[in-house]
A and B are shown apart, each in its own frame.
Chain A
Amino acid sequence: MEPMKLLVVDDSLIMRRSIERLLRSGRFSEIRTASNGQQAFEEFRTFRPDLITMDITMPLMDGLTAVDTILRDNPEARILVVSALADKSTAVEAIKRGALGFLLKPITPESLNEAIEDIL
């Protein structure tokens, strides 16, 4: 399995650390984090990750706007939205904007790995 790069985007430090911890021992050789959409885009441009996990409700730039911004820069970017927003329309909107998956919080190791397997 080829080592991959992951960018974890969430305004919660606990969530960033939790996702990083869950995925560090897997296929991702390098993991970076960002705490809002704006920072995520800056990281994306220099880091060029193979996968991005993206929260939605964040300060400065929300996750859906970040999905738009990143995909405008690189339409091939692979983004998994990880959010607590449980209504169907939010998930549909995320997919419509180009995210490849939507995972509802709270996450479990199993649900996270399964969602990532589906995307990669």
Chain B
Amino acid sequence: MESEILKVITQGATDYFAQVGGQPALTHPAYLENPKSTPVDDFSALIGISGRYRGCVYFTAPRALLTPLLERLGERTREDSLYADLAGEISNTIAGNARRQLGAGFMISVPILLRGRPDELQFPRGVDCFVVPIEWGGQRARLVFAIRQEEAA
């Protein structure tokens, strides 16, 4: 199951950057990470997963990666709130698009915009935490997820 989620989320990231950024992102092999030391960059947004799956996924990126995306979206202002909102929209789109393969039981929350590394960044216990490095425009973002499929009742 983890490999299916990984494949779907990785594809979602590639597609997002291809469509919005004009060129696909290069995704690097995922690696396992200790939940206490997952990467957090300038702007991050977390999506909670519920339904037939449980856990969360977050997207974290440096300002330098998001700036050209904002430009492509027609934004000329450089307010932090816009960068944070864009991180939220990216995580929302990647998680939402994952439902094409994972189905409506993959329920997603509204994005929670993170500042730094908040205490509430808690992953479900006993679930492996994966990091997918995403390279685009010479910069590197990361998708981090810890998701398990609930056992059928």
Contact = CB atoms under 8 A, between A and B. Distances in A.
B108 A12 contact: no
Contact of B96 (A22, A59, A84): A84
Interface stretch (A43-51, A72-80, A85-93): A85-93
B114 interface: no
Interface in B53-109: 70, 73-75, 81-82, 85-86, 88-89, 92-100, 102-104, 106, 108-109
A58 B93 contact: no
Interface residues of A, number: 23
Given A57-B109, A108-B19, A14 B96 contact: no
Given A14-B73, A14-B85, A106 B92 contact: no
B103 A87 contact: yes
Contact of A85 (B19, B73, B96): B96
B121 interface: no
A105 interface: yes
B74 A87 contact: no
A86 B98 contact: yes
Contacts, number: 68
B136 interface: no
A35 to B, nearest CB: 11
A39 B93 CA distance: 22
Interface residues of B, number: 30
If over half of B's interface residues share one DSSP class (helix, strand or loop), that class is named, otherwise mixed; here it is helix
Given A12-B85, A108-B19, A87 B92 contact: no
Interface string A1-22: 0000000000111110110011
Contacts of A106: 16, 19-20, 93
A86 B86 CA distance: 19
A15 B96 CA distance: 15
A89 B99 CA distance: 10
Interface string B96-133: 11111011101011110000000000000000000000
Contacts of A58: 110
A83 B96 CA distance: 8
Given A13-B81, A87-B100, A105-B93, 7 more contacts: A12-B92, A57-B92, A58-B110, A59-B110, A85-B99, A105-B96, A105-B97
Interface of A: 11-15, 17-18, 21-22, 57-59, 83-87, 89-90, 104-106, 108
The 3 A-B residue pairs whose C-beta atoms are closest, nearest first, are: A84-B96, A86-B100, A87-B99
